[in-house]
Amino acid sequence: MQHLFSPMTLRGVTLRNRIGVSPMCQYSSVSGGLANEWHLVHLGARAAGGSGLVIVEATAVEARGRITRHDLGLWSDAQIAPLARVARFIRQQGAVAAIQLAHAGRKAGTARPWEGGGPLSDLEGGWEPVGPSAVPFDEGHRTPQELSVEQIGVLQTAFVDAAVRAREAGFELVELHAAHGYLMHSFLSPLSNRREDQYGGDFAGRTRFVLETVRAVREVWPDDLPLAVRLSATDWAPGGWTPEETVELSRLLRAAGVDLVDCSSGGMVPRAQVPVGPGYQVPFAEAVRREAGVASAAVGLITSPAQADEVVRSGRADVVLLGRELLREPQWPLRAARELGHSAPVPPQYERAF
């Protein structure tokens, strides 16, 4: 029986355990989307703390695709070397180095959360967002420019180019961000996609952008390295994207060469009524794994070792991604191993403490 500390192989990459660091925006790039010491220490500490998979936060494929001015980016070759330093350290600690490639779409150009988090004007350092349709995220947010078919092609190329740079930086897994109301998700949801061309309308039209981009990235991403996609399994809003559509899309993603579907939810509309509670998103990962036949990752208020272990042992998900719990306790995997009766490699520098 598989458990939280069973190794897992995806293509040619093996995770030492089923614990992953969920991609969490740090909004800490000082300039030009470059990684710096904060990213090295933040992510390196979790790799040294025993996680099997460490995913770098949402990394923009173009400058216009940043949530804030302080987001990481991979739209330029100048951004490769700083990220390579991070990826190298993660690998040296025995973890798999991964990165999430993203475009903020209509939610771009905002202030950092601790600076208010709202949309910024041009004078405040903001910029015009883009999206599938001219539908703003919320009152007070800027109306996005509706992308033309030609502009969609340019953005797909930006994802491909960023994936090439990610490999040059030494990452072993790429995740495409199609969740939380950002660009890819906004093509999927009828709440934000009002198009009447081939990229809108029915399920096939709304999923076209994501599937085309996945196929294009898979063409340049090495065959022996895994590709993941993060989905919001539901918008938690009437008329929005549904769990059933998530399962159907996951089947198509598997056929397109995706190895892992990371199941989150929400983010499409403000003030959605989300039934938050321990493990509240695990059923989505379970449905994707069981009904779409693709490996899944569960995330969302998974906090205790026993809880995480049960998710894997029961076959509800293949990987458990932790966010805030690993912010609070970078060595959570080492504690989990002790509590669950497993061995886990401890950095020799820390052995006296364990």
Rounded distance between C-alpha atoms, residue 27 and residue 140, angstroms: 22
Give 94's Cβ-side CA count (13 Å radius): 15
Rounded distance between C-alpha atoms, residue 345 and residue 16, angstroms: 10
For the record, the structure tokens of 95 come out as: 């973890």
Instruction: Give the burial string for 305-343 (b: 16+ CB within 10 Å, else e).
Output: beebbbbbeeebbbbbbbbeebeebbbbbbebbeeeebe
- DSSP single-letter state for residue 72: E
- Nearest of 168, 172, 173 to residue 81 by alpha carbon: 168
Give 22's Cβ-side CA count (13 Å radius): 21
Helices (H), 139-297: 149-168, 183-188, 203-220, 243-255, 282-287
> Sign of dihedral through CA atoms 269, 274, 276, 280?
negative
Question: What phi-psi label fits residue 118: left (phi over 0), alpha (psi between -120 and 50 degrees) or beta?
Answer: beta
Beta carbons of 85 and 38 less than 8 angstroms apart: no
Rounded distance between C-alpha atoms, residue 320 and residue 327, angstroms: 15
**Cα 16 versus chain centre, distance:** 20
Write down the catalytic residue from 182, 199, 280, 350: 182
Does the annotation count 27 as an active-site position?
Answer: no
Q: Kindly report the backbone phi and psi dihedral angles of residue 183, in degrees, each rounded to the nearest multiple of 5, phi listed first.
A: -55, -55
Catalytic positions, please?
A: 182
